[in-house]
Structure 1
């Protein structure tokens, strides 16, 4: 790939900057710098039970991050740079689907041997307000979530402002114009599921208000030009119930509507093959509630999500078809701010009513700190589908085990094992079983 030489230059430059940073008790560009090298190695297996090809692949990625502090003065300036290289280890003959959902493909449809990318963010700070411009954003906001479910994170390019001038209130606003997916060097414009034309204008603004130490209120507005407008309201409350006990309430509401050319050829929305009252147009209201009771090392969760029946839930989703061309560049695959964004399915089709629950346990209570496990179950029904009317159902069962070494030379080395079983009735997803084995390690220079 053409960017591998750039990646090397960025890594060497960052290491040089770090090595020559002056030791000082003062805050400054070099004094507050952070530099890390992280590695993720991942096995991804997907057994397709509906006649499609199975997938079994493994790969490793090495990423360098350098984050400077800010120069001194009324206006402080800084720079963040990052570079990564990903290497395909083994796919097994015939087990690399040509869709780029895990690793990019060569011209013959086989997995590329390696790929890389590099980028950065210029930042400026005045008081408690920070402006950032660049192409390595990984937002985690109610109206936009960067997916980290594969080998590397999805990146966005544009500009963002974060302000904390008022105690307890965090305001975020920005404009983004492109995305680099979880398995690609090449950025593309922004779209939704079913859209074949780029939008280079995603604008958003909103805030998180920590009313008390136990209560947070949220409001955000987002607009993807020519696709959709979206309002979000959220409430998070934690009620202490005594020693090692609490009850958490998390409420979310989305109201999404059509914008500009949405519904026209090239700008149509198609959520998982789902029904829409006005075909191709965004028209949705989705609410969800999750309640978690924590008792010592135990956490019990129950919740419900309701998707209105005029159309499916909408979120930023580039897919692999843009401007009418099928491009398995690895830009497919996204995440969104929903309790039902599970390991395999999303449970977000028009009319779908989903009940879900989870049990999690922290083995620190048994003297094994760093070991955690969870099992979740989701069941959705009443989903509408253009291919067969309404009242379709689906379910998913996910199991997850995490362990992070707490002491010794490998302190911080983490292992995650995930397994998901999905079954559906006339669903856009094939019945499948997924397994992911992930190893993570980060070394900090500063």
Structure 2
């Protein structure tokens, strides 16, 4: 039993003695979520490996309240189960990105994992420690774009002691991927050695009701250091009109062993001034005009010439047999984190736009549709050329039943088309059909 598991077990034992305390049970919540997903990844290039699979996922969440006293204690638990319904022979690439693979490269029939967090609350400060953390911050966004969510192990503290300011600090040590039953250490794309120290600290300051400023610092030991600055401002024009400005800036640099064998960053398949090392500055700005049910979005992003944008990605971490651990796939806090591609290679200038309509304005609540287009140019290749380009078009329709027996049942259809002449990613047509339902126990 490792130290973190032992500490969690001891903490749960202590909490069990206080389970009858007012608040711990009364304020608890439990729910079970179901997600059915059809995933079709059609590689258009000759020789590409297509993927067509259907799977069913279940997620059980239990969130306790806090015991009474100056310091309140609680416990959260999570159980995940994935069941493979159909894949078709030859349509499950052995990459563990959607569903885990068996030893012969085919999809396993099912997989599962269980996690939990102990928590404490003092005044307006909460601390969480465990293996079911799902952070959502500028320097780390847990991925939930496939069947089951990515989770992290470590400790976090969130404090709101100062009015209008939220402080976040923590250290994460492991993650469990969206297609894995076990966890690994942390890394970046191309890195095969695991780091067990991702430290971060930052704050969100609500300057006024319409303006928020952000600063975060993160360090993945032996891989990279990263500073983030953000600004979000909403200008209310009228009761049903607004103009939103969202600006984000990242400055990332090498740390420790980064660049050595096993700790190399692949710079997303593009150019690097110092191959294998992190050296990047990226800014992104988005402007959204909302009028009734209409939302018009336009933005631009610039990745500097020295290297690609970096973020946590354990896709190159393998097991003792050299097979992927299933911990690949990740999200990052840029507007270009699209359905298929990320648009984050050195030198890349990306202009993007999106139109969204909420049909509630037309008397059909629960129905939304959007179409987005991104065009990236001036991509620097690994050899230094800068004439490559790529584009992506994404369409999405969401509908959630608003009343009746099936209230809360949601359906999503997403379709993306990617084309590009930069090395690394083949041309793709991708379709996802998703059904979601969550039942909250009362």
TM-score by length of 1: 0.93
Residue 333 of structure 1, aligned match among 326, 329, 332: 329
Shift of 1:27: 5.8
Shift of 1:324: 8.5
The CA deviation string for residues 145-167 of structure 1, in whole angstroms up to 9 with x for no partner, is 00111001100000000000011
Residue 278 of structure 1, aligned match among 271, 274, 279: 274
Q: Which moved more, 1:420-429 or 1:255-264?
A: 420-429
Distance in 1, matches of 2:30 and 2:80, equals 14
Residue 137 of structure 2, aligned match among 138, 141, 162: 141
Q: Are the aligned partners of 1:102 and 1:150 in contact in 2 as well (CA < 8 Å)?
A: yes
Match of 1:29 in 2: 24
Secondary structure of 1:365's counterpart equals: helix
Q: Are the aligned partners of 1:380 and 1:394 in contact in 2 as well (CA < 8 Å)?
A: yes
Q: Are the aligned partners of 2:267 and 2:309 in contact in 1 as well (CA < 8 Å)?
A: yes
Match of 1:7 in 2: none
Match of 2:7 in 1: none
Match of 1:53 in 2: 49
Q: Are the aligned partners of 1:198 and 1:322 in contact in 2 as well (CA < 8 Å)?
A: no
Tell whether 2:157 aligns with 1:161: yes
Q: For 1:168-317, list aligned pairs within 5 A.
A: 168-317=164-313
Q: Are the aligned partners of 2:409 and 2:435 in contact in 1 as well (CA < 8 Å)?
A: yes
Match of 2:387 in 1: 391
Shift of 1:388: 6.7
Shift of 1:325: 6.0
The CA deviation string for residues 321-358 of structure 1, in whole angstroms up to 9 with x for no partner, is 34896323321111100000000000000000000000
Match of 1:93 in 2: 89
Q: Are the aligned partners of 1:66 and 1:82 in contact in 2 as well (CA < 8 Å)?
A: yes
The CA deviation string for residues 1-48 of structure 1, in whole angstroms up to 9 with x for no partner, is xxxxxxxxxxxx9xxx9xxx98xxx96100100000110000000110
Shift of 1:71: 0.1
The CA deviation string for residues 292-334 of structure 1, in whole angstroms up to 9 with x for no partner, is 0000000000000000000000000001434896323321111
Match of 1:6 in 2: none
Distance in 1, matches of 2:85 and 2:40, equals 14
Q: Are the aligned partners of 2:271 and 2:384 in contact in 1 as well (CA < 8 Å)?
A: no
Distance in 1, matches of 2:204 and 2:191, equals 31
Residue 373 of structure 2, aligned match among 354, 373, 377: 377
The CA deviation string for residues 32-69 of structure 1, in whole angstroms up to 9 with x for no partner, is 00000110000000110112111000000111111000
Shift of 1:428: 1.3
Match of 1:116 in 2: 112
Residue 151 of structure 1, aligned match among 136, 147, 164: 147
Distance in 1, matches of 2:181 and 2:48, equals 27
Q: Are the aligned partners of 2:317 and 2:325 in contact in 1 as well (CA < 8 Å)?
A: no
Runs (5+) with no aligned partner, structure 2: 1-11
Shift of 1:84: 1.5
Distance in 2, matches of 1:109 and 1:323, equals 14
Q: How many residues align?
A: 425
Distance in 2, matches of 1:426 and 1:316, equals 23
Match of 2:353 in 1: 357
The CA deviation string for residues 265-309 of structure 1, in whole angstroms up to 9 with x for no partner, is 111111221110011110000000000000000000000000000
Distance in 2, matches of 1:89 and 1:375, equals 30
Q: Are the aligned partners of 1:62 and 1:85 in contact in 2 as well (CA < 8 Å)?
A: yes
Distance in 2, matches of 1:63 and 1:356, equals 34
Q: Are the aligned partners of 2:198 and 2:219 in contact in 1 as well (CA < 8 Å)?
A: yes
Match of 2:33 in 1: 38
CA 1:336/1:325 → structure 2, altered by over 3 Å: closer, same or farther?
farther
Match of 1:417 in 2: 413
Match of 2:8 in 1: none
What's the C-alpha RMSD, in Å, of the aligned pairs? 1.5
CA 1:65/1:132 → structure 2, altered by over 3 Å: closer, same or farther?
same
